[in-house]
Structure 1
Amino acid sequence: MTSTFAVLTLRRSEARERYSRLTAILLSMGLRQIGGSARHVVLVAPEAKCERFAAGTIVIGGLKGRHRRSSSTVDGGTGRAAERAARDLTGSAWGSYVALFDLDEDPAAMVDPSGAGTAYEIADDDLSLLCDHVTPSLVRLAGFDDTVDLDALWGCLFDPTTALQAKLLSAGQRLVPGRLHSLLGRRAPLTIWSPAMFPERRDDPEGRLRAALDVSLAGTGARRPLVQLSGGLDSSIVVGSLALLAPGTQAVTATSSAGDVEETQFARSAAAHAGVRLIEKPSPGYPDYRMFCDAPQIAHPYLHGLDDLFGLGVDEAAAKVGADLVVTGQGGDALFLNTASPVVAVDRRRSLGSRASWRSIVDDARRSRHTIWHHLLPAEMDRFRGARPPEYSMVPPWVAERTLSPRIQHSWIDDAAGLPPGKRLHVAMLANSQVYHSERPSPGPTPLYHPLLSQPMLEAALSLPAWVLASGPINRGLARRAFAARLPPDVARRGSKGAATTLYGRAAVANLAFLREHLIGGALAGAGLIDAQKLDVTLTTDHLFHGQHNHSLILLASCEAWLRAWRR
């Protein structure tokens, strides 16, 4: 994997020789110059998609749709031209992109609001390098500091949802979607788009969800899309909707060696209801955790696409049918607010007061499989002591005890601090779903798209109250009602989700020898981030078949490989 773009900015004139040398290195990697000035250069790979949205604005990655034509006029020299151009871009178009603004004395960059575009900045006082793919060799070749922040990495083991936002490297960090970032480092990032910005709307929630998904799917322009169909609600909504827009739609479902008979039945039902062909891809074995040692490491540990067998099966199916896009249902749990938390009832009580019906509390209890008191008491107590969203609590026992540094969380969560607790939980779940936009250790040749995390879908769902999204006696109730006609009855009324617990347990046993060799006495243990003695007890066949944290072992293997590469 190599970068599809790079923007090199000179921050101090004394570093011009280093700037020129690094520019030459980037050009030698096959990148070509498409823009720049005396202080910065914009380079892209031959296959990169680029377009000029307006004067002084380059979009790398492409726009999937436009709401209206750009109408603003921008003029340089005011110090605010980039801000106006960025607001015009996010308000009039959407897609998967990184936008570059060369309108003021300070060049700026922004990742699209959905986070589907990727940009990391590696910088020091002399230079800034913005690119979409960071490797240890690139950082060292460019002369940047490659020191790993062990506290930040420990925080990722404690709570993996922090990994994308954490500054794991002293010199580098991933750009926050929707924020205008100064490449000279002269000012703090400016919020252009944030989940906390959307005023509440309760009109026609079902119709607005359907319309947003249709826009998200039509905007791809795919003629032969292939849907990753698990048989769950979210991917079934996607395949039923996409089949209406693209007659060439097909679907693929994967069955693991642990046996997914129940899931396959639902996938078959969803494909038949949508009228699309379903390709069934059985996996011959279990994921190979050793692959992380062979994969080129990036700016953070791999967090997504860790099952190499599943990815390979989808890639093979896509190649066989000539698919031009692989489409998933990832992010649906967050978008449609699949939660058992009582903060939904708190938000409803704040909005409706005594008008909140008793039936809604009963529905909450049925949906969460708790008593009505689990929801009623927090909603009533909120009048005296404000309720808060739940904290992350699934910490594996082998994570070493360490002095807790200030918790790292996504900037979107900070933006939402003034929202009701149910809506703050919604924003936090969407922020955590950014992991689906991260790089995979074995990326396939066919582009991957998550329509449920697109900007149109985010904006539609964010404007809806939490208690409207999570309404009814079954999870994701609004989504089920909105897309009822596009779902088979068995999927529409299915309340359970497919569990991969058995797969993770058996996969850990299949990788047991490697895990013991790789982790006990490895880099994480040596740095004091994991407890080798507790891990030694965990990594036994008997324990793994009954363990509750087996799903974390594949991420642990990824973090170990990452730390070894960066501390080499």
Structure 2
Amino acid sequence: MNPDRFLALISCSETPRSQFDAIISAGRRHGLEPALLRGRLCVLVHEDAASKAADDGAGLIVGASFPRSRIGRIAGAASGGPSRSVFFSDMWGGFVAFRIDDRQQSIDVTRDPSGMAPCLVARQGGAIWLFSDLETAIAAGLSVPAMDWTALGRYLAFPHVPTQETCLAGVEKVLPGMRLRISRDGSMSQICAWSPWAYTRNDSRIRRYDDAVRLLRAEVLSSVGAWAARSSHIMLELSGGLDSSIIAACLRDLGASFSCVTFATDDPAGDERRQAGLVASALGARLHEVKLDAAGASLAPRSRQRTPAPQAISWRAMIDSGVRGAIDEAGADMLFSGGGGDNVFCYLTTAAPAADALRAFGPGPCFARAARDVATLHRASVWRAARYALRKVYWAKPKLWPRNIAFLMPGVAPASPPAHLWFTENTGAPPGKLEHTASIASAVSVSDGGERDLDVQVCYPLLSRPLIELCLGIPSWMWVSGGRNRAVARDAFSNLLPAETIARRTKGDLTGLIAGIYREHKSEIEALLMEGRLAREGILDREAVFACMRQAGPFPDASFTQLVTLAGVEYWIQSFGA
């Protein structure tokens, strides 16, 4: 559970005191205390939450915040309250910032771009409610929201597109990097407080590969060090892949106290013990091994934490159960994850890096080198890589968000993804940077509101704002140098990790585990989907589900994964009494 819980009320009344008294009384019963009470705004924060008040008393940051300076070695977070001038632009971390503008008679609520500090908004009883999580707000008096079935259909079609809407009627989300402005009359609008395009411009581009390697190493160490300073002992989810291994190397280099946990399934593709053990042994770190067994899985979520969109999936619950045991055994007070690393380190699976080189340099040696790197990476011919790059530059329309219509009724899934404020205007960014930025936007679905069933804070250091900004400034063709994905990151940490880890291209795969869960719970899944609310609301195609579940022999694709996921969605719907 996120310790940085908060509840804020913006009154639309000229005399808000009675509303504030009621919310303060309700909040105190659940460990929330007033941290900012001024004008129409009342902000309550949990007793375990990190918070800093502005020097002028007109603002508050809830969550972890650090100054915009390199840390290098483990050092404490920023001390003292943020002044008006540095309230957002000079701070980074995982926070929500409240700011009262007396002159404009407005209130600004700003989220940092990492997504590690959720913020939801709803209206009720002549007031605007802002809160870190649904359970905190409901406990304080917010009515349990109803389902928004149309929004749920859109979510199932585009689950990785961050949107303001949730799957609950009347509940919206302040998106990472956005600012919600609430005017005196109660009207609300979201604007970009942070934009990725300032870091993708040609004048922001890093020119030399060696500089990219050097700067990336320093920034990853700095970001990991800042987060590590908040913990006495860290538990790291270590797969032995590049991203989590880089975090492990940083923790060892910084002198942090940490242990690691890894997972294994009966399917060899899901057994990460050898790769994780290789890294842990090289770094001298203790490794906890957790066996994931489909026979012990439950489709119904263990956690009672309701979320604004479906989050609980059976294999995540199994992982969290194993992580809890490792955390308790090690006495850890924070969990680190490498989630989002692929996105930030520009792991693209298209010819976009060669297309970017073509746009930047024309059809010369730089483009030829990038096309050769893309061809090597994807085991294709140089001519094919060059042809796809040409199409991306001159003809192809960017497709940034995949659309999933499996088992959905016709008309449920919109033809195009929901709009995101970063992509509503012509940015002029080349194809690779468009794809890189969309991938980073998708990464916050990992950290944003994905409530895990753990008693410690979950941190995603590779989604730190300074690191995102630096990586956006590294040209996409550098990331595929030598025909390797995430090449800059590999070279930045090549002397801190085993050569086999640096060279590793494969990833652990839970497909075998999910197939086992499907087999173990097939009758339960069929009953949920054939008789559940998704089908009754016209979202789920019963005939398609029935035909798929009745076919003989192994599945020709991974459609069973979607069936298990949809069964979890049915249990999520039930958690709201719908």
Do Structure 1 and Structure 2 share a fold, with TM-score over 0.5?
yes
Q: Which whole-Å CA distance do the structure 2 matches of 1:324 and 1:18 have between them?
A: 36
Partner of 1:288: 297
- Per the TM alignment, residue 323 of structure 1 is displaced from its structure 2 partner at its CA by 1.7
Partner of 2:376: 366
Contact 2:51 2:64 in 1 (8 A): yes
The one-letter amino acid paired with 2:123 is A
The one-letter amino acid paired with 2:306 is Q
1:200 aligns with 2:205: yes
Partner SS state of residue 535, structure 1? helix
Partner SS state of residue 53, structure 2? strand
Identity over the aligned pairs, expressed in percent?
A: 24
1:507 aligns with 2:517: yes
Paired residues for 1:250-269 under 5 Å: 250-260=259-269, 263-269=272-278
Partner of 1:218: 225
Partner of 2:91: 93
Distance change (3 Å), C-alpha of 1:499 and 1:439: same
Paired residues for 1:219-258 under 5 Å: 219-220=226-227, 221=229, 222-258=231-267
Partner of 2:491: 481
- Per the TM alignment, residue 207 of structure 1 is displaced from its structure 2 partner at its CA by 0.9
Q: Which runs of 5+ in 1 are unaligned?
A: 75-83
Partner of 2:332: 323
Contact 1:327 1:448 in 2 (8 A): yes
Partner SS state of residue 249, structure 2? helix
Paired residues for 1:456-535 under 5 Å: 456-535=466-545
Residues paired across the two proteins, number:
555
Q: Which whole-Å CA distance do the structure 2 matches of 1:98 and 1:417 have between them?
A: 27
Name which structure has the greater RCO, CA cutoff 8 Å, separation 6+.
2
- Per the TM alignment, residue 416 of structure 1 is displaced from its structure 2 partner at its CA by 7.3
- Map Cα deviations across residues 40-83 of structure 1 (whole Å, 9 max, x no partner): 21112222221124322211112245429899997xxxxxxxxx
Q: Which runs of 5+ in 2 are unaligned?
A: 71-77
- Map Cα deviations across residues 347-372 of structure 1 (whole Å, 9 max, x no partner): 11001112324233122012123333
The one-letter amino acid paired with 1:159 is F
Partner SS state of residue 261, structure 2? strand
The one-letter amino acid paired with 2:470 is A
Partner SS state of residue 170, structure 1? coil
Partner of 2:74: none
- Per the TM alignment, residue 101 of structure 1 is displaced from its structure 2 partner at its CA by 1.0
Distance change (3 Å), C-alpha of 1:115 and 1:415: farther
Partner of 1:54: 55
Partner of 1:80: none
Partner SS state of residue 323, structure 1? coil
The one-letter amino acid paired with 1:130 is L
Partner of 2:73: none
- Per the TM alignment, residue 441 of structure 1 is displaced from its structure 2 partner at its CA by 5.3
Q: Which whole-Å CA distance do the structure 1 matches of 2:370 and 2:549 have between them?
A: 45
Partner of 1:180: 179
Correspondent of 1:402 among 385, 404, 411: 411
Q: Which whole-Å CA distance do the structure 1 matches of 2:237 and 2:309 have between them?
A: 26
Correspondent of 2:216 among 209, 213, 225: 209
Partner of 1:79: none
Partner of 1:169: 168
Q: Which whole-Å CA distance do the structure 1 matches of 2:249 and 2:275 have between them?
A: 13
Distance change (3 Å), C-alpha of 1:73 and 1:173: closer
Partner SS state of residue 520, structure 1? helix
* Higher mean C-alpha deviation, range 449-458 or range 132-141: 132-141
- Per the TM alignment, residue 450 of structure 1 is displaced from its structure 2 partner at its CA by 0.9
- Map Cα deviations across residues 13-57 of structure 1 (whole Å, 9 max, x no partner): 499866664554334434222221242211122222211243222
Contact 1:223 1:246 in 2 (8 A): no
Partner of 1:421: 431
- Per the TM alignment, residue 555 of structure 1 is displaced from its structure 2 partner at its CA by 2.9
Distance change (3 Å), C-alpha of 1:402 and 1:383: closer
Q: TM-score, normalised by structure 1?
A: 0.88
- Map Cα deviations across residues 411-467 of structure 1 (whole Å, 9 max, x no partner): 334467431111010011111111121344542122211111111211110111222
* Higher mean C-alpha deviation, range 28-37 or range 405-414: 405-414
Contact 2:110 2:179 in 1 (8 A): yes
Distance change (3 Å), C-alpha of 1:73 and 1:299: closer
Contact 1:176 1:411 in 2 (8 A): no
Contact 2:131 2:137 in 1 (8 A): no
1:9 aligns with 2:32: no
* Aligned-CA RMSD value: 3.1
Q: TM-score, normalised by structure 2?
A: 0.87
Partner SS state of residue 340, structure 1? coil
- Per the TM alignment, residue 389 of structure 1 is displaced from its structure 2 partner at its CA by 3.0
Contact 1:98 1:112 in 2 (8 A): yes
- Per the TM alignment, residue 542 of structure 1 is displaced from its structure 2 partner at its CA by 4.7
Q: Which whole-Å CA distance do the structure 2 matches of 1:287 and 1:59 have between them?
A: 41
